[in-house]
């Protein structure tokens, strides 16, 4: 299974990238780091610079049809930058149009809102996004992980790094790697 992790060149919360990446890798999945620019991305540990990671593909050179699953890590700056990039927003929307699963944590639902894919769905996020989600037609709930199976795509969301275990388990169940 090919999994895309979509991140901006700077600002992704490192643990929200590395924890689900590792969980998927341990089951034999093949994650690919997709960004809006080539080279390396700069991750953060909250406000402090973390590690850098090599970009595998850019959004202008790939599409949702190349992948089976999309993971959107958070951080405040990461989804804010992604939602301002038309190609990134189109990439996200492509997964929903194709009926493919999407997983988003923390502030990542900002990108989902920009892609206009939260209407009629139940999801969670970092608490400060709840008004944005409601204004976009979604239902916000305060839970560790939410799996919304409204068609065409399954949407898995989680609130914060403390919820990564629940998030990872929900993602692994979705790809059939955990029962």
- Residues marked as catalytic: 106
Number of H helices, E strands in the chain: 6, 12
Could you give the CA distance from residue 53 to residue 106 in angstroms, rounded to a whole number? 20
String of DSSP letters for 128-179: GGHHHHHHTT-EE---SEEEE--SS--EEEE-SGGGHHHHHHHHHHHTTS--
């Amino acid at each position: 299974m090919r999994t895309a992790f979509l991140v901006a060149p700077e600002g992704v919360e490192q643990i929200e990238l590395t924890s689900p990446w590792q969980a998927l890798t341990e089951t034999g999945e093949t994650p690919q780091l997709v960004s809006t620019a080539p080279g390396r991305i700069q991750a953060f540990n909250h406000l402090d610079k973390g590690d850098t990671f090599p970009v595998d593909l850019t959004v202008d050179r790939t599409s949702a049809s190349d992948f089976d699953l999309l993971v959107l890590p958070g951080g405040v700056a990461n989804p804010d930058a992604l939602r301002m990039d038309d190609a990134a927003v189109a990439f996200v929307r492509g997964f929903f149009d194709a009926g493919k699963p999407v997983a988003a944590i923390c502030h990542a639902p900002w990108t989902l809102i920009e892609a206009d894919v939260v209407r009629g769905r139940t999801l969670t996020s970092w608490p400060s996004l709840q008004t944005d989600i409601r204004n976009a037609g979604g239902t916000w709930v305060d839970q560790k992980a939410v799996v919304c199976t409204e068609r065409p795509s399954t949407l898995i969301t989680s609130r914060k790094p403390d919820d990564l275990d629940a998030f990872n388990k929900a993602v692994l169940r979705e790809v059939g790697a955990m029962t």
